[in-house]
Amino acid sequence: MSFSSNSYPTNTTVTASTYSWQVLEANTVMTVMDRYIQIILYIFGVCGSLLNVFTFLQKQLRSNPCSMYFLAASSCDFCICNLFILLTIIAYFDRQDYNRFVRTAFYCKFGSYTTFLFQCLSSIYICLASIDRYCTSSPHSKLRKLSSVKVSRLLIPSVFLLWALFSLHIPLSYDLRRYTPTSTNLQCTIQQNVSTFFVIIDGYFFALLNGAIIPFFLALFGLLIIRNIRHSRHRATAPQRTSINTGTGGRSTGTSTLSTTRPISRANQHLITMLLVQVSLTICLNLPYIVFYLNGIYNQVTVTVAYIVFKVMSNWFYYLNYCKTFYVNTLASQLFRSTLKQQLLFLLQKSKTKLVTAWSITPGGSARY
């Protein structure tokens, strides 16, 4: 195993056996940590996604197009937690059943297909939410008209259908095959004559989309939203112009105020705040994994202690990206918190009423007095 002595102090002598032992020890420690971190991520991710869906379906929020994009992204996050993180946990605690499941033709085709599909969709829906908030905060009426529930209900299934068709190359080409003619084990892989195409699509394009294209548009529209908000506040504080209406003969008929001020509503302000925080965290959490991913494609990796630690931690950050949404929304928006609290209290009161009613009636059906 190769290594560079530049990563160690000059006054320290490191042998190959000592280095290998350190790598093995680091791998063991990080594997144990990863086992329990994955469980925590799964619990928080599934619970957060369900609570997100529950909250965005409420009357106060579901009439807003941005909420529809958040709802679609949360649904994708829920699928990722159960398709990706859950299988990782099963692999740690029941390797035999895990191998039995992932080595089926069905999972080989559709497991990889859905994983690729939902990871891309989750990022794209957040990007659409950014574009929607930019349109909402725009001073131009034509752009503001694009921010509507009707548009969101058209875009969400259209984007899903487009990416579902684009990703069909995975179930059509992946299958259980022998990686080499002399191999005895079947692996989920593609034919060797089309491997270059899949390196471009599933490797470079996936990394470019999630590591560069989506973060670029998130950052771009985030800055544009901030600019629009500042201009909106400036217009709101600018002096209004007053004109005098004149009738026939030049006589004054009254005055009217001309103003171009269009204040952003409270609900839109909260959704913009939620989105900007989500955008910032999404960019920060995606970058380590994408850097590691691209480095593995372009360079031959030398396994070191730093490599193992960075690999595992970049995976944690990447998975956290699909588990964070509910908790960020709760911390960033008072509207989101109040909507969730109101509905939870309503359900609690409703359950309490049903329980009291059930206890007040005897098994025979007569009321207890």
**Per-residue model confidence (pLDDT) at position 352:** 84
- What DSSP letter does each residue of 84-117 carry, written as one string? IIHHHHHHHH-HHHHHHHHTSHHIIIIIHHHHHH
Nearest-angstrom CA–CA distance, 166 and 120: 11
Query: Residue 259: inside a domain, yes or no?
Result: no
Number of structural domains the chain divides into: 1
Cα 365 to the center of its chain, rounded Å: 51
**Predicted TM-score (pTM) of this structure:** 0.78
Which residues contact residue 207 at a Cβ distance below 8 angstroms, ignoring those fewer than 6 apart?
A: 290, 293, 294, 297
Euclidean distance between CA atoms 206 and 260, whole angstroms = 44
Note whether residue 349 is domain-resident.
Answer: no
Residues 66 and 275: beta-carbon distance below 8 Å:
yes
Q: Give me the DSSP letters along 345-358.
A: HHHHHHHHHHHHHH
DSSP, residue by residue, 26-82: HHHHHHHHHHHHHHHHHHHHHHHHHHHHHHHTSHHHHTSHHHHHHHHHHHHHHHHII
- Beta carbons of 241 and 257 less than 8 angstroms apart: yes
Output DSSP code: residue 3.
-
Residue 138's pLDDT is: 86
- One digit per residue, the tens of pLDDT, for the chain of length 369 reads 333 333 333 333 444 455 588 888 888 898 899 999 999 999 999 999 999 999 999 888 888 898 999 999 999 999 999 988 999 999 999 888 888 888 888 888 888 889 889 989 998 999 999 999 899 888 888 888 888 999 999 999 999 999 999 888 888 888 887 766 666 777 777 776 666 666 667 767 777 887 788 888 888 988 888 888 887 766 655 554 444 455 555 554 544 444 444 556 666 777 788 888 888 888 888 888 777 777 766 667 677 888 888 888 888 998 998 999 999 989 888 888 888 888 889 888 888 888 888 787 755 555 444
279 within some domain: yes
Boundaries of domain holding 292: 14-172+202-235+264-337
CATH number for the domain that contains residue 307: 1.20.1070.10
Phi and psi at 264, nearest 5°, equal -75, 135
Distance of CA 138 to the CA centre of its chain: 25
Count of CA atoms in the C-beta half-sphere (13 A) of 251 = 3
- In a domain? residue 193: no
Q: Is residue 219 part of a domain?
A: yes
Residue 122 is assigned to a structural domain of this protein: yes
Tokens of 102: 């992932």
Q: Report the pLDDT value the prediction gives residue 36, as an integer from 0 to 100.
A: 93
Beta bridge partners of 256: 243
d(CA 317, CA 328): 15
184 exposed, middle or buried (CB, 10 Å; 0-12, 13-18, 19+)? Answer: exposed
Task: Give the residue from 4, 229, 35, 212 showing the smallest Cα distance to 137.
Answer: 229
CB atoms within 10 A of CB 342: 13
List 176's β-bridge partners, or say none. 188
- Scanning 138-205, the segments in alpha helix (DSSP H) are 141-146, 149-166, 169-173, 195-198
Quote the pLDDT of residue 4. Answer: 38
DSSP string covering 219-273, please? HHHHHHHHHHHHHHHHHHHSPPEEEEEE-GGG-EEEEEEE----PPPHHHHHHHH
251 inside domain? no
pLDDT, position 369: 41
Q: Are the C-beta atoms of residues 348 and 73 closer than 8 Å to each other?
A: no
Task: Kindly state whether residue 179 falls inside one of the protein's structural domains.
Answer: no
